[in-house]
Amino acid sequence: MWKMNKHRRGGCAETPLSRLLVGIMAVMAALICTLGAVDYAYPDVISVYEESLGGALCSTEYAAVRFGAIPLKTVEIRRIDDKRLIPGGMLFGVRCGLEGVLVVGLEDVCDGCCPAKEAGVRVGDVIVALNGTPIADAAALSRAFSEDGAAGRESLLTVMRGEEKKQMKLLAVRAADGVFRAGIWSRDQTAGIGTVTFIDPDTGVFGGLGHGICDSTTGMLLPLARGVTLGVHVAQIVPGSAGTPGELRGTFSGERTGSLMNNTPCGVTGVFTQIPTGQAYPIGRASELSAGTASVLCTLEDGPPREYTIRIVSVGDPCSVSNKNFVIEITDGALLEKTGGIIQGMSGSPIIKDGKLVGAVTHVLVTDPTRGYGVFIENMLSASQMPMEKAS
């Protein structure tokens, strides 16, 4: 009886034909899984420097991913040397929500009790769900804590701590005002002003800031959901001085100019609804950058960007992936008269040297506002994973 069950399926005996069909189906399933894995692992487009392409690849724009002699996928090879970008220099506003709710502070609710702290919540954590339901804003989080606490129920938090997902339980307690609270200060959106570094004339994709949008309290990179970019009117320039950074103050015009896609340590990336026009420049490599005279494009008043003279003082390790790659000094008298040097709002201002777009302004030296740091344009492009194909 045991042997009969082994060699029968659904009451029918196995035959050579059925075994062959089962084998063919297994091979097809494995092939489908393999093709899916290859498609996931290999992007449709790879951007590389021409000098890094070797042999036959230098004469073609496509390469085949193969399993033995069987081609599995064709990948398009794009030479970065051939890519030209329009330098920005114009201001843009950002308004966007976060992917979850960022914990920016913890406090006692009553009698030295902070439920969140006792549960293991830390400043910098991002709460993405409560009781299995995604959390989109701080108000919804507070309401849920209050309802659970009033009912005597524990709240189940799903928290992202860096790349690690954690779950923890807490019981909100009654505060002096009668509302049940968890003791969490949180943030669910952000807004600000920066400068566009580059625009891809083919796609409308832009990069800006040169550094990430970070929380002012924790200093952590904010996990931004997709937001919008807005037009900006310059309202006031507060010049900087030693020990006191200056500031470019502006107001949103209300005109939506595009969408924000990524927030990285080397800047933000988005897409403009209307592609700005202008001369496109080749990309300057970090390995070729040297000290000397350069220029920066920035906007200090309503109207188009202006070009100002700067000096690249020193260049750091060309292999560094940080956003402080070289030191710059403002030498243009007109810019120094207006701003005193580098001020907040100028972050992302494109830097051009020897006819190439080499990077962007990122930080000011607080002790000397005439000096600051720049980021390699390569690092901005690499961090943003800017799509190189035209949008359909």
Tell me whether residue 392 is in a domain. Answer: no
Same domain, yes or no: 202 and 320 = yes
Percentage of residues of the chain with pLDDT beyond 90: 48
Tell me whether residue 347 is in a domain. Answer: yes
Same domain, yes or no: 173 and 66 = no
pTM metric for this prediction: 0.70
Same domain, yes or no: 242 and 292 = yes
How far is C-alpha 292 from the geometric centre of its chain's CA atoms?
A: 31
Percentage of residues of the chain with pLDDT beyond 70: 80
Tell me whether residue 276 is in a domain. Answer: yes
Of 247, 241, 180, which Cα lies nearest the Cα of 366?
A: 241
The residues annotated as belonging to the active site are: 211, 332, 347
Same domain, yes or no: 193 and 171 = no
Same domain, yes or no: 279 and 357 = yes
Same domain, yes or no: 167 and 296 = no
Write out pLDDT tens, residues 279-304.
999 999 999 999 999 999 999 988 89
311 pLDDT higher than 50: yes
Domain stops at, among 165, 182, 199: 182
Count of domains for the chain:
3
Residue 145 has a CB neighbour count (10 Å cut-off) of: 25
Is residue 75 very low, low, confident or very high in pLDDT (cuts 50, 70, 90)? low
Is residue 253 very low, low, confident or very high in pLDDT (cuts 50, 70, 90)? confident
Domain span at residue 70 reads 2-82
Tell me whether residue 100 is in a domain. Answer: no
89 pLDDT higher than 90: yes
371 pLDDT higher than 80: yes
Is residue 5 very low, low, confident or very high in pLDDT (cuts 50, 70, 90)? very low
Same domain, yes or no: 327 and 196 = yes
Task: Find all residues with CB under 8 Å of 351, minimum gap 6, and list them.
Answer: 294, 295, 296, 310, 312, 328, 357, 358, 359, 360, 361, 374
Domain stops at, among 14, 48, 82: 82
Supply the mean pLDDT for the chain: 82
Tell me whether residue 377 is in a domain. Answer: yes
CA pair distance 374, 291, nearest whole angstrom: 12
**162: CATH:** 2.30.42.10
Same domain, yes or no: 141 and 246 = no
**What does the pLDDT average to over 163-180?**
91
Same domain, yes or no: 118 and 72 = no
147 pLDDT higher than 80: yes
Identity at 334, one-letter amino acid code: A
- β-pairing, 70-79 vs 45-48, is parallel
Same domain, yes or no: 239 and 175 = no
Domain stops at, among 155, 182, 209: 182
On whether the CB atoms of residues 46 and 84 are closer than 8 A, the answer is: no
> Which has more confidence, 198 or 36?
198
Annotate the chain with three-state secondary structure. CHHHHHCEECCEECCHHHHHHHHHHHHHHHHHHHHHHHHHHCCCEEEECHHHCCHHHHHCCEEEEEECCEEEEEEEEEEHHHCEEEECCCEEEEEEEEEEEEEEEECCCECCECHHHHHCCCCCCEEEEECCEECCCHHHHHHHHHHHHHCCCCEEEEEEECCEEEEEEECCEECCCCCEECCEEEEEEEEEEEEEEEECCCCCEEEECCCCCECCCCCCECCECCEEEEEEEEEEEECCECCECEEEEEEEEEEEEEEEEEEECCEEEEEECCCCCCCCEEECCHHHCCCEEEEEEECCCCCCCEEEEEEEEEECCCCCCCCCCEEEEECCHHHHHHHCCCEECCCCCEEEECCEEEEEEEEEECCEEEEEEEEEHHHHHHHHCCCCCCCC
**322: CATH:** 2.40.10.120
Same domain, yes or no: 278 and 378 = yes
Tell me whether residue 47 is in a domain. Answer: yes
The helix or strand, by DSSP H or E, that contains position 17, with its residue range, turns out to be: helix 16-41
